[in-house]
């Protein structure tokens, strides 16, 4: 079943059109990745899906309902949750308070925290610390944990590997895969195409606001153009 | 000598706690939308008029009148935000600031046209007498009520912001409204509630202020609003405990200057302190100096 379906999406910032007719879909249970260089329009697509930006035209359907003009808090209530680029944790709140913010629309139960702590033991150790004092990797874990607190059907991850040491990137991707195995559908935006393709089922390559290529992750890894442009081979 | 000092201290605490209550409105709004709401002082004026009309016009007892004024001012705050500030949320800070001055002038002049510039006597509650503390030092019951009511309001606000869901939402929006939005927080509602709470506190401040200086006129919010704004900046704008500290400090400094230096100079000293604090610690007494993030 198509959980998320984006059709002919156009998004502009004033006179500049950043996304010029992007179409893609994500089936239930899949990991799909959008890869592409800086300025290809990946984050813009993510913001449009979450309702932070209003599309100029095109539709975004989640669970067969058009959500392209729905308010962000209503989109989240439907189980479509984003982990934003740059983590955006609440630095002046404790780790636990940050997690409770993730469950803002539900009421967080002790059990919900426990699930996140078992996924990220580091967060348990630091639950009373201010989130601003965490390292970059821990902050990324907190950002993902915070999003999982709402028990989403689908997670949008924007550049989760950004600014992290390679060993932490591996750890983060292992956890993303684990969430997916637990039944959460994933849309992943990445500049680190190697890592993204290694865990994804399917991928779309974005170039200057358009889908340039699409296919299974295996096919794209083998594709010569992709290798040259994104995999550094 | 010491007894005089304590009396001045009590006077300072009395006016300072009113400054603090009003400063909270400035600082909460600034914290969440980065706007100095210059019309906040005029909310005090509107609150005083509401109490005046309810008590002298409709014969309603003082406390229910104050509660109604709190609701009325909360509504005024929300309307102000929806009509004047919300459409400008993504505009430059300067446009929003000028709009705030416009809202202030609008309220002042609308009341001027409707109710004339003549001061009216405020129906202050009959709290007279005083409590003897020690020796010749006594505290008037009005001062005691003012200080206690302000303290209770501030404690309630503290628990509201720290402990309730809406309070957490307010903190989240003030830190990063985009991220708060992604948590499912309704940012517009949260901002509206912030204006409502700040304005309701201003109504309480208004009742306390007008009970101390019992005159109601359309420009009464000007001076009071400015002082409370100074208090908010002094403590660190956007920081709730900062507004409390700033207000009380300002009241005490003002009272001491009037007593020991000169009454005429008291405002000069107050604004002078503001300038010195801004020069030495631009983020205010309780503010953290943070570099602008790029």
Residue B60: which H helix or E strand, with range?
Answer: none
* Banded pLDDT at B13 (limits 50, 70, 90): very high
Interface test with B, best of A88, A103, A146, A152 (most B CBs within 10 A): A88
* B217 Cβ neighbours under 8 A, 6+ residues apart: B45, B117, B118, B119, B120
* Complex prediction ipTM: 0.88
Tell me what the mean pLDDT of segment A180-185 comes to: 94
How many angstroms separate the first and last alpha carbons of chain B? 55
Separation of CA A145 from chain center:
13
Tell the CATH topology of A2-230. Rossmann fold (3.40.50)
Quick check: B184 and A90 CB within 8 A? Answer: no
Task: Give the HSE-up count for residue B1: Cα atoms under 13 Å, Cβ half-sphere.
Answer: 0
> Which structure tokens are listed for B83?
């009509």
* Banded pLDDT at B90 (limits 50, 70, 90): confident
Nearest Cα of chain B lies from the Cα of A223 at a distance, in angstroms, of 35
Question: Secondary structure of chain B: what % helix, strand, coil (to 5)?
Answer: 75, 5, 20
CA A126 to each of CA A80, A117, B8: distance values in angstroms, whole numbers, following the listed order: 27, 10, 47
**CA–CA gap between residue B22 and residue B1 (Å, rounded):** 32
Each domain of chain A, given as residue ranges in start order, spans 2-230
Average pLDDT, chain B: 92
Give the model confidence (pLDDT) of A28-68 as tens digits.
Answer: 999 999 998 888 899 999 999 999 999 999 999 999 999 99
In which region does residue A63 sit, left (phi positive, over 0), alpha (psi from -120 to 50) or beta (all else)?
Answer: left
Model confidence, pTM: 0.90
**CA–CA gap between residue B197 and residue B40 (Å, rounded):** 12
A70 contacts in B (CB within 8 Å)?
A: none
Nearest Cα of chain A lies from the Cα of B277 at a distance, in angstroms, of 24
Confidence at residue A57, expressed as pLDDT on a 0 to 100 scale = 95
Confidence at residue A233, expressed as pLDDT on a 0 to 100 scale = 57
> Which structure tokens are listed for B44?
């005090």
For B179, the closest of A71, A90, A97 (CB atoms) is A90
Quick check: A82 and B165 CB within 8 A? Answer: no
Q: Is the pLDDT of residue B293 over 60?
A: no
> Which structure tokens are listed for B205?
């401040």
Tell me what the mean pLDDT of segment B1-22 comes to: 93
Let me know the angle formed at the C-alpha of B190 by B188 and B195, rounded to the nearest 5 degrees. 95
Residue B191: which H helix or E strand, with range?
Answer: helix B187-212
């Amino acid at each position: 079943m198509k959980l998320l379906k984006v059709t002919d999406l156009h998004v502009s910032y004033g006179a500049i059109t950043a996304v010029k007719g992007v179409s893609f879909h994500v089936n239930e249970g899949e990991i799909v990745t959008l890869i592409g260089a800086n300025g290809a329009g990946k984050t813009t697509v993510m913001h449009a899906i979450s309702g932070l930006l209003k599309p100029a035209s095109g539709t975004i359907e989640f669970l067969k309902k058009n959500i392209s003009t729905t308010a962000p808090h209503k989109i989240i209530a439907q189980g479509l949750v984003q982990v934003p680029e740059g983590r955006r944790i609440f630095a002046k709140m404790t780790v636990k308070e940050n997690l409770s913010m993730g469950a803002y629309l539900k009421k967080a139960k002790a059990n919900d925290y426990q699930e996140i702590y078992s996924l990220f033991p580091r967060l348990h150790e630091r639950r009373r610390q201010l989130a601003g004092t965490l390292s970059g990797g821990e902050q990324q874990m907190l950002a993902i944990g915070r999003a999982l607190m709402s028990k989403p059907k689908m997670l949008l991850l924007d550049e989760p590997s950004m600014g992290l040491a390679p060993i932490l990137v591996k750890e983060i991707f292992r956890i993303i895969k684990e969430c997916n195995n637990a039944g959460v559908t994933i849309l992943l935006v990445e500049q680190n195409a190697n890592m993204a393709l290694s865990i994804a089922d399917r991928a779309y390559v974005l170039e200057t606001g358009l889908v340039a290529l699409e296919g299974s992750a295996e096919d794209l890894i083998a594709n010569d153009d992709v290798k040259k442009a994104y995999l550094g081979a | 000598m010491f007894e005089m000092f304590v009396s001045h201290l009590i006077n300072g605490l009395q006016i300072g706690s009113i400054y603090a209550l009003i400063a909270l409105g400035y600082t909460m709004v600034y914290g969440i939308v980065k706007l100095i709401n210059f019309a906040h002082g005029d909310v005090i004026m509107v609150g005083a008029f509401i109490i005046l009309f309810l008590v002298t016009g409709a014969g309603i007892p003082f406390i229910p009148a104050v509660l109604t004024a709190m609701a009325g001012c909360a509504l005024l705050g929300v309307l102000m935000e929806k009509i004047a500030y919300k459409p400008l949320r993504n505009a430059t800070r300067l446009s929003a600031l000028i709009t705030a001055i416009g809202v202030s002038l609008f309220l002042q002049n609308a009341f001027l046209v409707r109710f004339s510039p003549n001061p009216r006597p405020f129906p202050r509650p009959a709290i007279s007498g005083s409590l003897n503390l020690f020796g010749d030092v006594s505290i008037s019951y009005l001062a005691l009520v003012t200080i206690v009511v302000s303290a209770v309001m501030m404690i309630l606000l503290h628990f509201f912001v720290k402990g309730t869901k809406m309070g957490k939402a307010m903190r989240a929006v003030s830190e990063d409204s985009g991220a708060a939005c992604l948590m499912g927080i309704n940012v517009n509602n949260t901002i509206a509630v912030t204006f409502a709470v700040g304005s309701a506190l201003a109504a309480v401040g208004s009742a306390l202020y007008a009970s101390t200086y019992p005159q109601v006129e359309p420009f009464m919010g000007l001076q009071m609003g400015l002082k409370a704004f100074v208090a908010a900046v002094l403590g660190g704008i956007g920081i709730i405990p900062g507004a409390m500290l700033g207000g009380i400090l300002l009241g005490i400094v003002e009272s001491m200057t009037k007593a020991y230096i000169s009454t005429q100079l008291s405002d000069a000293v107050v604004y002078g302190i503001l300038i010195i604090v801004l020069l030495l610690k631009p983020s205010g007494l309780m503010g953290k100096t943070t570099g602008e993030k790029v």
